[in-house]
């Protein structure tokens, strides 16, 4: 564990924080001037121009981390810069996001930005709100090792327990953090057998001659969506119960208290209102885009006589997801305490160039090469050609579509599954199925999502698809059969699991996050759906899981949705049918 634990032992005599609000106007002005100077310096560094980097950067970071608190001077006025991320989900390489653009994020770019900030301001804390794991082949293949090594090279100080940190179970996570320099802090998960905390609850950091207490928690919803098997043997404690005794101990010795909270924005707001003494919450889990810090004041009814925190409330920050942004929060300190703050999200796009010898880029490309090597791994065998012709996929249920949907349905334990046809990008030829082929068939990092829907709502959903057949994207299905009567514009003979659809009954519907988020008519299909739950697992993982259970595939049934009243085959996406009554162009996905 390390370095900062040593600091913890010597940090007991930290300066008092009892007089947060006594800073005078002159001191405030001095801090603002200092902040402007610092921000100006960073802007002037020319992040876009590319810089000489290399081992020197790493050495400097390491030496800063080892600075002893007693040696640190305590400047009368100083700025602490907190940089933060959350829900990076193994996105170590730049990625595309349809709504935002191409070539976004990537941890090498993040490292370049962090390095530039560290060069411009000496007092930096680099923190994370959890869910570093799961989401790309870097996690599928390396189970967190690639992520943690890259985070360590960036010089991260601490993170907390995200639900996806437990995707490989607690023992695996503990092993991973034995080799990581970054601390995982979590004050509210205990081993049931011993009552001991699984991870340290908090750590003190010395920056700018001030003592910063950093704690971590995982929220109720995040804990509840963690697979039950991985929660077994551990007790979760409500953060509003776990935190007050710790704050009573830490508050007197800390100039600033920061909570890393993998709970989601709503739970963070409720926590900030109920628990006094938290200056900053760095959130996660809900991928919330908070462009600037949000100040939440304690609710007087809940917290009678609550002691004011540094800002008269709690600053909540969160930086969207996947490391497209890095959050920056500058906090000004004067002799008597906090003077003020400024914060924003910094996009990490192509305007930030990565030096050729960037150690983080080198590390990531090493893992990338291994991924390439391992995509030749054979994960199954296909007895027939499962073709996926462009001109058919939007107007017919194809066997490959049924196969993928069946894998999703079984993976999430649903009654039926559907996905948009365009999320499957290629067929599977007869013969051995490689991991590379799986990535080719399902290249998108969509997760498996479940809903509850009544039979009537499912009938409406299929009715909408039928009424717009040929005009909107096609879908693929499993667990359901029916007839699209295109002449009548109606869906008939709907059966789920072989039995006639019961309008009053609730069914569990499985789909993918892309549709569940409203894309490709998802907002219409699922308008009467309830209990949305994202499993967090990629659809690709569901297919690999299916192949593991069925190493030699059975050919899936064709035409689970039968078409009557009009020829089924449309010549191509975006073109018209070969039959009378031409539908409009199908939106390509």
Nearer to Zn ion, 135 or 162 (CB): 162
Nearer to Zn ion, 131 or 206 (CB): 131
- To the nearest whole angstrom, how small is the minimum distance from the Cβ of residue 222 to Zn ion? 5
Strands 124-128 and 78-85, sheet pairing? parallel
Two structure tokens written together for 579: 């039959």
CA–CA separation, 20 and 331 (whole Å)? 13
**For Zn ion, which stretch binds (CB under 5 A), given 103-111, 229-237, 281-289, 363-371?**
281-289
Using only C-alpha atoms, the chain has a radius of gyration, in whole angstroms, of 27
- To the nearest whole angstrom, how small is the minimum distance from the Cβ of residue 514 to Zn ion? 18
| Cα separations in angstroms, 46 against 101, 120, 353, 354 | 22, 12, 10, 12
Nearer to Zn ion, 412 or 462 (CB): 412
Using CB under 5 A as the binding rule, whether residue 285 contacts Zn ion is answered as yes
- To the nearest whole angstrom, how small is the minimum distance from the Cβ of residue 262 to Zn ion? 6
Contacts 24+ apart (CB under 8 A), 440-446: 441/388, 441/400, 441/404, 441/543, 442/404, 442/538, 442/539, 442/540, 442/543, 444/514, 444/539, 445/95, 445/135, 445/136, 445/538, 445/540, 446/512, 446/513, 446/514, 446/538, 446/539
- To the nearest whole angstrom, how small is the minimum distance from the Cβ of residue 226 to Zn ion? 9
Q: What is the DSSP string of 145-211?
A: HHHHHHHHHHT--EEE--GGGGTT-HHHHHHHHHS-SSEEE-SSEEETTT--BSS-SEEEEEETTEE
Nearer to Zn ion, 129 or 414 (CB): 129
Residue 435 neighbours by CB distance under 10 Å? 21
**For Zn ion, which stretch binds (CB under 5 A), given 67-75, 250-258, 285-293, 336-344?**
285-293
**For Zn ion, which stretch binds (CB under 5 A), given 1-9, 43-51, 158-166, 462-470?**
158-166
Q: What is the largest CA-CA distance in the chain?
A: 84
φ, ψ at 423 (rounded to 5°): -80, -10
- To the nearest whole angstrom, how small is the minimum distance from the Cβ of residue 535 to Zn ion? 12
Nearer to Zn ion, 283 or 556 (CB): 283
**Cα–Cα–Cα angle for 287, 288, 291, nearest 5°?**
130
- To the nearest whole angstrom, how small is the minimum distance from the Cβ of residue 285 to Zn ion? 4
State the residue for tokens 């999430």: 412
Nearer to Zn ion, 129 or 334 (CB): 129
**For Zn ion, which stretch binds (CB under 5 A), given 91-99, 128-136, 398-406, 580-588?**
128-136
- To the nearest whole angstrom, how small is the minimum distance from the Cβ of residue 131 to Zn ion? 4
Two structure tokens written together for 221: 């919803």
- To the nearest whole angstrom, how small is the minimum distance from the Cβ of residue 167 to Zn ion? 10
CA–CA separation, 501 and 480 (whole Å)? 9
Using CB under 5 A as the binding rule, whether residue 163 contacts Zn ion is answered as yes
Exactly one of 162, 327, 455, 470 binds Zn ion (CB under 5 A); which one? Answer: 162
Helix (H) or strand (E) holding 533: strand 530-538
Mark 429-468 with x for binding to Zn ion (rule: CB under 5 A) and - for no binding: ----------------------------------------
Cβ-closest position to Zn ion: 285
- To the nearest whole angstrom, how small is the minimum distance from the Cβ of residue 166 to Zn ion? 10
Alpha-carbon torsion, ordered 299, 301, 305, 310, to 10 deg:
0
Using CB under 5 A as the binding rule, whether residue 128 contacts Zn ion is answered as no
**For Zn ion, which stretch binds (CB under 5 A), given 41-49, 123-131, 192-200, 570-578?**
123-131
The answer to whether the CB of 246 falls within 8 A of the CB of 203 is no
The answer to whether the CB of 436 falls within 8 A of the CB of 375 is yes
- To the nearest whole angstrom, how small is the minimum distance from the Cβ of residue 86 to Zn ion? 9
How many chain residues are in contact with Zn ion, going by CB under 5 A? Answer: 5
Strands 447-454 and 530-538, sheet pairing? antiparallel
**For Zn ion, which stretch binds (CB under 5 A), given 59-67, 163-171, 462-470, 569-577?**
163-171
**Spatial CA neighbour of 17 closest among 205, 206, 202, 212:** 212
Nearer to Zn ion, 80 or 512 (CB): 512
Q: What is the DSSP string of 319-379?
A: B-STTSEEEEEEEEEETTEEEEEEEEEEE-STTS---TT-HHHHHHHHHHHHHHHHTT-EE
Span 209-228, contacts to Zn ion by CB under 5 A: 222
Using CB under 5 A as the binding rule, whether residue 143 contacts Zn ion is answered as no
- To the nearest whole angstrom, how small is the minimum distance from the Cβ of residue 423 to Zn ion? 22
Nearer to Zn ion, 87 or 279 (CB): 87
CA–CA separation, 313 and 298 (whole Å)? 6
Nearer to Zn ion, 163 or 423 (CB): 163
Exactly one of 4, 131, 330, 485 binds Zn ion (CB under 5 A); which one? Answer: 131
| Residue 96: burial class (beta carbons within 10 Å; 0-12, 13-18, 19+) | exposed
Nearer to Zn ion, 325 or 484 (CB): 325
Nearer to Zn ion, 226 or 314 (CB): 226
Span 28-67, contacts to Zn ion by CB under 5 A: none
- To the nearest whole angstrom, how small is the minimum distance from the Cβ of residue 218 to Zn ion? 8
Nearer to Zn ion, 164 or 210 (CB): 164
- Enumerate binding residues for Zn ion (CB under 5 A): 131, 162-163, 222, 285
């Amino acid at each position: 564990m390390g370095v900062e634990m040593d600091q913890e032992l010597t940090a007991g005599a930290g300066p008092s924080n009892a007089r947060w609000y006594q800073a005078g106007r002159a001191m405030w002005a001095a801090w603002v001037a200092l902040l402007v100077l610092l921000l100006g310096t960073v802007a002037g560094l020319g992040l876009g121009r590319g810089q000489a980097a290399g081992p020197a950067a790493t050495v400097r970071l390491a030496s800063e981390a080892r600075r002893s608190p007693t040696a640190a001077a305590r400047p009368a006025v100083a700025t602490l810069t907190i940089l933060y991320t959350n829900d990076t989900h193994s996105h170590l390489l730049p990625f595309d996001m349809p709504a935002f653009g191409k070539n976004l994020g990537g941890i090498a770019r993040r490292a370049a930005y962090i390095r530039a900030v560290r060069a411009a301001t000496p007092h930096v804390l680099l923190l994370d709100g959890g869910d570093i794991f799961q989401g790309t082949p870097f996690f599928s293949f390396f189970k967190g090792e690639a992520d943690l090594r890259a985070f360590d090279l960036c010089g991260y100080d601490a993170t907390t327990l995200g639900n996806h940190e437990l995707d490989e179970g607690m023992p695996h996570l503990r092993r991973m953090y034995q080799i990581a320099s970054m601390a995982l802090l979590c004050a509210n998960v205990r081993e049931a057998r011993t009552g001991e905390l699984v991870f340290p609850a908090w750590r003190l950091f010395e920056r700018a001659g001030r003592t910063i207490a950093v704690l971590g928690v995982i929220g109720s919803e995040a804990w509840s969506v963690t697979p039950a098997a991985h929660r077994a043997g551990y007790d979760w404690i409500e953060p509003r119960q776990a935190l007050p005794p710790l704050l009573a101990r830490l508050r007197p010795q800390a100039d600033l208290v920061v909570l890393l909270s993998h709970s989601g924005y709503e739970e963070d707001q409720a926590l900030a209102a109920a628990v006094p003494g938290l200056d900053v919450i760095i959130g996660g889990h809900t991928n919330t885009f908070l462009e600037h810090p949000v100040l939440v004041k304690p609710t007087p009814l809940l917290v009678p006589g609550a002691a004011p925190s540094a800002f008269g409330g709690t600053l909540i920050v969160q930086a969207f997801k996947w490391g497209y942004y890095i959050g920056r929060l500058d906090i000004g300190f004067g002799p008597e305490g906090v003077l003020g703050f400024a914060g924003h999200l910094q996009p990490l796009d192509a305007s930030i160039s990565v030096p050729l010898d960037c150690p983080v880029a080198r590390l990531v490309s090493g893992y990338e090469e291994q991924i390439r090597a391992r995509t030749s791994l054979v994960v199954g065998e296909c007895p027939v050609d499962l073709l996926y012709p462009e001109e058919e996929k939007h107007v017919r249920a194809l066997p490959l579509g049924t196969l993928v949907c069946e894998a999703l349905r079984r993976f999430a334990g649903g009654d039926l599954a559907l996905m948009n046809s365009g999320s499957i990008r290629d067929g599977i030829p007869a013969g051995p199925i490689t991991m590379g082929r799986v990535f080719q068939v399902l290249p998108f990092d969509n997760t498996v999502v479940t809903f509850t829907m009544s039979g009537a709502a499912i009938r409406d959903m299929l009715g909408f698809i039928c009424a717009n057949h040929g005009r909107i994207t096609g879908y693929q299905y499993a667990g359901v059969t029916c007839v699209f009567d295109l002449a009548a514009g109606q869906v008939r003979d709907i059966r789920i699991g072989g039995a006639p659809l019961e309008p009053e009954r609730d069914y569990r519907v499985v789909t993918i996050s892309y549709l569940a988020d409203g894309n490709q008519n998802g907002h219409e299909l699922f308008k009467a759906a309830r209990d949305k739950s994202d499993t967090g697992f990629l659809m690709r993982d569901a297919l690999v899981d299916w192949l593991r259970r069925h190493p030699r595939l059975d050919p899936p049934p064709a035409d689970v949705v039968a078409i009557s009243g009009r020829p089924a085959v449309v010549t191509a996406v975006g073109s018209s049918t070969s039959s009378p009554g031409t539908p409009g162009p199908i939106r390509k996905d």
